[in-house]
Structures are given as structure tokens and as C-alpha cells.
Structure 1
Amino acid sequence: MQMEMTQLDGMVVHTSWNQSKLRMAVALSDGALQIWDASTEASGTSHLTLTGHWDAGVGGFCPKVTWAPSEYGDVVASCSVDGVISLWEEVILDGETEGTWRRIASLNTAQLSVLDMQFSNTKTGLLLLVISADGHARIYHTIDVLNVAKWQLQAELQNSRTPIEINGKYTFLGASVAWRSSTSRSPQPAFAFGCNSSSSSLNVAKVWEFEQSHQRWFCVAELREADELDKPVNHVSWAPNIGRDVRNPQMSCIEHVIVFPPVSLPVPGSYEMIAVASGDGISIWQVAGAQEKCSVRRVARLMGFEDEVWQAEWDMSGMTLASAGSDGIVRLWQANLKGVICIVINFAIIMST
């Protein structure tokens, strides 16, 4: 299947695909939001069609936009520069073929700009994780499982360890969050959270997990080695495990991939993979177990980038990792069933004027 190139009107600030990868939400610099739908012709060529366009009413641009899980209908969240998050729902009236987007809820995140936000579907309802410019993670939960218009603050977490870090005045330039995939065998919600700040001690990715019996979130692991202490975290991505063998991880040393010697995981059973883009490389981490029995180890460091790596994203199978950075090259890294990771394709992005 081929996808035609689509020229988007206006200056694009952020984009987000829905769960089925058939709808794309776009945030523009003038504060407008757009919805583009993908369709496939008889020839097999796919293209995008603009089906929604409205003013988010934020008095400026929307830094982030993201989709809720499809179980809750067509719902997107957008944010303003002053930290107000708006939830929008598509409603199709009788006799009409195209939907109308209406605001169904607003959340105020301490009047701080939002660095990243992501939804997650759990057994107890929908969660929205928001990272603000103070470096705090705020988790909102739906009061009613079936009503996405009513929310409450469930928890506020700090990405700090010492009183000096907590009370210090630091600038957070960016942050990235990734929920554990819904395909995971673990019943508890968990997420990875990394920061790019003015303090090297805060530039670390951490794994947080919810403990049902105590109704609290606990930091169960830190994803950083000694050679990454001065590298800001630009992006984190938690791999689905649909297409990957989760029982016997193996890595092989090849070009542009530094492989670290294996150690025995204290907890038997399945493991999960998290990619952390920091500095000029990407670290691949194995995570096994939960809570105090959680074990993590870095299994590979993907190198060969000419500059800062800004994004790394797994595909739906957890077998292919796409990366992009300041060098203008998109690389696809793929692991086979034996866990061997290598570059399968790379292509340069040519900007036209």
C-alpha cells in the first residue's frame, strides 16, 4: 500500500495518529485543530482527507494533541500554553455524514505549559498522564468509567530523588511519557517518564507502576547508565509485545549497535522492552517483574547518529523501531525473532522551500 504525500495548510506544531492509524489529529500554530482521515482507493493508493477543522480557543498555539483509546469513541485532547487541557469529542448528528467536534471537558494543570500527555485504558477507567513544565507528572482519572467528560486528579508525581532536587529551580525543556502497552501480560498500569532539563541529575527515564492494594504509584526502576549521565532524555517508547518472543531475549553485536553482556534476570518469565532516546543514541532496556522484584538492564545502545536523536517509536508489533533526529535522517531498526537488531532502511528528509 502506498500513501500519497499530503500538504498540510499552516504551520504544524504537533500531530498524533489514533489507535487504528487511520485518523490523524494536527495542532497548528494559530490555535486550530484539524482531523485528517486516511482512505484507500481501488488502486491501493491511500491518501488523507481533511474532515475536521476548528479553533481550539486557546489564544495561541496548541503544543500537544493526542487521541484517547478507541473504546471511548473519537476523543482527542489538546492543551494550551498556559496548561489548560481540552477534551474534544466527535458527534455525528442525524442526517449528517461528517461529525462536529465539541469540547466536553477542561482540565487545569497548575497554569503550567504541558510538555507531553498520553491516554491509557485500564480496568478501572481511562487515565490521562500529563507532564508539566515543573517536571511533575499529573495523572487524571475518569470518575465514571463510561463518561469521559468527568475527571479528577488521581496523583501528582515528582521526577526527583533528593530535597535539593525537589526544592531547586530548574528549567524543564522537554519531557516524554509512554504507557505500558495494553497487550502486556501485567494487569497493573505502568509508564516510563523521562525529562530534558537544566539539571543532569533529573535527566533520567524512570518506570512507575500502580500498586492496587495501596492505591499508589511507585517508582520501580531508573533507566540510565554511567555513560548517559550528561545526556538529556528526548523520547521514550514502550514496545508492544504482539510480534516479539518475550521468553528468550538474545542480542547480537552488529554495526551501529553496542550490545551489553547479558545477566541473569532474577524474575523468570516474560520481559518488556523500552527505548530511550538520549543524546546521540538510543538505549534499549529490558524490564521484567514488578514492584520490588522489578529488574531492568540495558541490552543495547543504537549508535551511528550524526546529531541529537529526538524521537524513537516502536511499531504496533514491537519489532520495528523508527528513529529521527537533527541529522534529518529517519532510520528503521528491526529485530528478528531471535532479537537481533539492525538498520533495515534509512532515508533523508528533504525540506522544500
Structure 2
Amino acid sequence: MRRIDRVPTEHADVIHDVAYDFYGERMATCSSDLTIRVWERSRCVASWKAHDGSIWRVAWAHPEFGQVLASCSFDRAVHIWEEPPGGARGGAWPRKAVLGDAKESVTSIAFAPRHLGLRLGALSADGKLRVYEAHDVMQLGEWSGVDEIDVPGARCFAWGQHTSGPAYLIVGFTNGTASVSSNDGGRKWAEVAKLSDARDAIQAVAWAPHIGRTMQLVATGGRDGTVHVYTLRPPAAGVNASAPWEAKLAARLLDHRDAVWRVEWNATGSLLASSGDDGTVRVWQPDATGQWRCVSTVKSDGATMDFA
């Protein structure tokens, strides 16, 4: 058993999200206290009031585009932040842009894979998934909307982690389904697979990094406490990108005792982490026969990690 370090964040209210940068060296936190904090190990290097409502998510852009953060809030806005030259030295990062098209709370954000440019997806409670693109990655003050997708009932989304080719998205819905869609550069997204094994609302989705596999891996986390893992096989090379994919349920993981709010893959897509209202983070891995099992558990009450 190994003890996990605690970080005294000094946030004055609930922390809604924690995000690590590409290298895992920096961490950003956001809270209902309206602030964002940036950390290097356990040291806070920047802190500032960022929104006028609870901040639900923070996301790092790929380092190719610099030290750039996005945040979304109950105040219906998405803000873009960039670290100042020389660092913030404990102060605020300058706000570069405000994306304010949502009519209701913006609940989730994620940057697209870098081969698509500096693009950001933003999901809001008005049933829209909006995609924005920076006009100039060196001047982050101007962004334009390149897509507005109708997704009534959507709770979460993630980008396909391809390194080239069309854009892909997976969106999870309150009715227990998830939709995988592709876009070859136009304004129309085509559904290529539908996942319907969940029995309750899907609250988290994650697409594994694409590391030379012939198949894709995606995971969903549900309000009923279940984690599902799927394999997705795209059509053969040369077939239209919008052709149906083969989707198979690879695992139904039942160890959580309450709603699952987050699922995330490691950098190679070989480990899956899930966290939920039962106060645990569970790490999953397939064995030699392809059976998924929990290999470690982090318990919030004792801040310890148990290895199976």
C-alpha cells in the first residue's frame, strides 16, 4: 500500500475539475469559488478569479500551441487563457478571448487533436456542441465558430485521438446511449456507431490514444456506477469516412458502488481510470486473455492506493 500525497489547494468551495498538462508536470484546478489555480507539483504558481459562476471544467491545449488553458462555467461562457512571458509568479494568466454563444451553462470543454489545429469543443446545457477555431495560434484574441452540432440530452463528449485524418467525436446522453460521429472537413457530422449498453445516463466518455492499433478503444461511465469499454473498428482504408464502424462491448465493469463521473485513459491507452461518488478512483487493465480487471484503487478517505 502506498500513500498518495494531498495538495492543500486553498479553494474556498467545491473543486469541479482537475486537469494535467500534456507532460503531466502541471495541474490546473477550478472551483465554485470562481477561481482557477495552476500547480507545479504541490506549489501553486498562478491563481485568479476567472468567471462569474461556478467553473465546471478546465482544459490544456497541446504544448505546440504554447501554455494555453480554456475554462467553462455556469455563467455560460468559455474563456481562453495564456501564461504570460516569464510566468505568472502566483498571479493571474491574461484572458485572451471570451466565447459567449451558449444560452445556458457550458458544462464541458475539450481541445481537439493537434493535427486539426487549435480547435476547442464546448458542450452546453442548451443542447449544443459548438466547435471553435483560433484564427491565428500566435494571437489568441480571435476565434470563430466552425461547427454547431445539435445534441439534445448530451451530458459529455470527447474527441477521437487520431493523429491524422478526419475529426471524430463521441457524445454521451442522458438516455444511456453514446454516439460516435465523423467529419471529413465539411460542416456535416455523420454518425458511424451507436453504443447502447448503459442502463442509465452516461456522465463521462473517453477515447483512448491511438497507438498503432487496428481498432479504437472508448470508455463510458454511467450514473448507475457502471463503466463500459468498447472496441471500435473503422471500415477498410479507402472506404467513405462516414461508413458504419463495427462496435463491440469489450467489458462491463461493476466495481463502483455509485455514479461514475469521470473516465480517463493513460498516454498509451493501456490503462483506464474511473472515479465516482463512492469516493474511489479505480484503475483497470486487460489481462492476457483480454479480460478487464481492477488493478488498483485509490480511496479518498484514507488517500491510499491498493494494488491488486
Question: Would the alpha carbon gap of residues 215 and 50 (structure 1) be closer, same or farther in structure 2, given more than 3 Å must change?
Answer: same
Q: Secondary structure at the match of 1:292?
A: coil
**What is the deviation of 1:330?**
2.0
Larger radius of gyration: 1
Query: Which residue number in structure 2 is paired with residue 4 of structure 1?
Result: 5
User: In the alignment, residue 116 of structure 1 is paired with which amino acid?
Assistant: S
* Pairs within 5 Å for 1:143-222: 143-159=135-151, 175-181=155-161, 184=162, 186-196=164-174, 200=175, 203-212=176-185, 214-222=186-194
Instruction: Check whether the contact 1:176–1:193 (CA below 8 A) recurs between aligned residues.
Output: yes
- Aligned-residue identity in percent: 28
Supply the distance in 1 between the matched residues of 2:62 and 2:195 (Cα, whole angstroms): 27
Structure 1 gap ranges (5+): 39-47, 161-171, 247-269
**What is the deviation of 1:185?**
5.6
Is residue 2:217 matched to residue 1:273? yes
Query: Which residue number in structure 2 is paired with residue 344 of structure 1?
Result: 295
Q: In angstroms, what is the RMSD of aligned CA positions?
A: 2.6
What are the superposed Cα offsets for residues 141-182 of structure 1, whole Å, 9 maximum, x if unpaired? 22235443321111111225xxxxxxxxxxx5x72221112x
Query: Which residue number in structure 2 is paired with residue 258 of structure 1?
Result: none
Is residue 2:296 matched to residue 1:332? no
Supply the distance in 2 between the matched residues of 1:239 and 1:54 (Cα, whole angstroms): 32
Supply the distance in 2 between the matched residues of 1:190 and 1:326 (Cα, whole angstroms): 29
* Pairs within 5 Å for 1:98-113: 101-113=93-105
User: In the alignment, residue 76 of structure 1 is paired with which amino acid?
Assistant: L
Q: Secondary structure at the match of 1:216?
A: coil
Relative to the length of structure 1, the TM-score reads 0.75
User: In the alignment, residue 53 of structure 1 is paired with which amino acid?
Assistant: S
Instruction: Check whether the contact 2:48–2:92 (CA below 8 A) recurs between aligned residues.
Output: no
Supply the distance in 2 between the matched residues of 1:211 and 1:325 (Cα, whole angstroms): 35
Query: Which residue number in structure 2 is paired with residue 23 of structure 1?
Result: 26
User: In the alignment, residue 229 of structure 2 is paired with which amino acid?
Assistant: I
Instruction: Check whether the contact 1:211–1:218 (CA below 8 A) recurs between aligned residues.
Output: no
**What is the deviation of 1:105?**
0.7
2:200 aligned residue (216, 224, 231): 231
What are the superposed Cα offsets for residues 79-101 of structure 1, whole Å, 9 maximum, x if unpaired? 2322111111011259x977851
What are the superposed Cα offsets for residues 219-263 of structure 1, whole Å, 9 maximum, x if unpaired? 2221113xx3x4100100111133xx72xxxxxxxxxxxxxxxxx
Q: Secondary structure at the match of 1:237?
A: strand
**What is the deviation of 1:186?**
5.0
What are the superposed Cα offsets for residues 11-59 of structure 1, whole Å, 9 maximum, x if unpaired? 2232211111111111132212111112xxxxxxxxx111001121x33
Supply the distance in 2 between the matched residues of 1:215 and 1:114 (Cα, whole angstroms): 22
User: In the alignment, residue 8 of structure 2 is paired with which amino acid?
Assistant: Q
Instruction: Check whether the contact 1:14–1:27 (CA below 8 A) recurs between aligned residues.
Output: yes
Supply the distance in 2 between the matched residues of 1:348 and 1:66 (Cα, whole angstroms): 25
Is residue 2:58 matched to residue 1:65? yes
Supply the distance in 1 between the matched residues of 2:288 and 2:24 (Cα, whole angstroms): 25
Deviates most, 322-331 or 139-148: 139-148
Is residue 2:109 matched to residue 1:117? yes
Deviates most, 115-124 or 231-240: 115-124
Is residue 2:171 matched to residue 1:241? no
Q: Secondary structure at the match of 1:91?
A: coil
Instruction: Check whether the contact 2:44–2:90 (CA below 8 A) recurs between aligned residues.
Output: no
What is the number of equivalent residue pairs in this alignment?
Answer: 293
Supply the distance in 2 between the matched residues of 1:185 and 1:79 (Cα, whole angstroms): 26
User: In the alignment, residue 14 of structure 1 is paired with which amino acid?
Assistant: D
2:232 aligned residue (276, 287, 296): 287
Supply the distance in 2 between the matched residues of 1:287 and 1:307 (Cα, whole angstroms): 27
Question: Would the alpha carbon gap of residues 296 and 9 (structure 1) be closer, same or farther in structure 2, given more than 3 Å must change?
Answer: same
Instruction: Check whether the contact 1:117–1:129 (CA below 8 A) recurs between aligned residues.
Output: yes
User: In the alignment, residue 288 of structure 1 is paired with which amino acid?
Assistant: R
